[in-house]
Copies of this chain bind each other. A is one copy, B any other.
Amino acid sequence: MVRRFSEERDWDQFHNAKDLAIGIVTEASELLETFRFKSEGEVERLLKNESSAKRVRDELADVFYFALRLAQKYEIDVSGSLEEKIRDNARKYPVEKAKGSSKKYNEL
């Protein structure tokens, strides 16, 4: 669906890796903007409100659109990369050290 939508509009020419990465950042940033200056309680309320929850879903969908499009154009295996990354992180963050901690691996 992501590919068809883009190709029907002849957007391949704009969808180079750099601009797609800009796409992910800018959409993720619009998602984050929804939570700017909000306390944790306000964010939870906002996510229970149908119209702001819809905005959050929309911004997140935009992130997925550009991330999937980047993967697709450069033939990146998303599931494989994610599995590999989680395996790497499991080594960097062993359960016994990382449990309940928000520290970075190099501070553990």
Contacts and interface: CB of A to CB of B under 8 A. Distances in A.
Interface residues on A, range: 35 or more
A35 B9 contact: no
Query: How many copies, total?
Result: 4
B24 A98 contact: no
Contacts of A2: 82, 86
**Main secondary structure on chain A at its contact with chain B?**
helix
Nearest to A35: B18
A9 B98 contact: yes
A82 B76 CA distance: 19
Contacts of A100: 9-10, 13
A68 B100 CA distance: 20
Nearest to A15: B37
